Amino acid sequence: MTRIGIILGSTRPGRNGEKVAHWVVEQAAKHTGDATFELVDLADYPLPHLDEPIPPAMGQYQNAHTKEWAAKIGSFDGFIFVTPEYNHSTSGVLKNAIDYLHAEWNHKALGVVSYGSVGGARAAEHLRLIAGELKMADVRTQVALSLFTDFVNFSEFAPGEHQAASLSTLIDEVIEWSSALAPLRG
């Protein structure tokens, strides 16, 4: 069974991402039989700014928090990142969490659900660049949620009906690519 981690990439108090991530989990639950899904909230993994003395590509993690994070990420076959757009990029906490590891990300699929004033498009593009360096395969479909049209008063999540269809396609692609990359993870 393919295991997909849904990573909530914001820890900000009152974050919109929590509502978005729970929506992704609810939609993913409709894809029974082909994969299992788990929400991974970065608030539950309080990683300090990268504090490993050896580069992550060496795989010689020293700190207990890094080893715990590596075990969690290593347990998945693919990911859906739920990211805000802060200052034309992804959140610092998500970038930091990604930077902690290397091999645990390799040969896995990645889909992006982003939100922001322009749907988080720039955050998603930055994640795609990062994914390439980590040997991740980013899927084509993206769910871009606008603070103007998919939220009421910029805080009450009310996605347009078309967003569920896009998310379903994204989930299908992440499952397919995760399965296709399995031999490389061997």
Report the SS3 class of residue 56. Answer: helix
Dihedral angle over CA of 15, 16, 21, 27, nearest 10: 160
pLDDT in tens, 100-113: 999 999 999 999 99
pLDDT in tens, 53-96: 999 999 999 999 999 999 999 999 999 999 999 999 999 999 99
CB 157 within 8 A of CB 151: yes
Give the model's confidence band at 33: pLDDT under 50 very low, under 70 low, under 90 confident, else very high: confident
Rg of the chain over all Cα atoms, to the nearest angstrom: 16
Nearest to 25 by CA among 2, 51, 6, 11: 6
Q: Which fold has domain 2-185?
A: Rossmann fold (3.40.50)
pLDDT in tens, 124-173: 999 999 999 999 999 999 999 999 999 999 999 999 999 999 999 999 99
> What residues does each domain of the chain span?
2-185
Burial of 176 (0-12, 13-18, 19+ CB in 10 A): middle
What pLDDT score does 31 carry? 86
What pLDDT score does 118 carry? 95
Separation of alpha carbons 137 and 71, rounded Å: 20
Q: Which helix (H) or strand (E) holds 79?
A: strand 78-84
pTM above 0.95, yes or no: yes
Tokens (6 digits) for 179 = 């399965």
What pLDDT score does 34 carry? 87
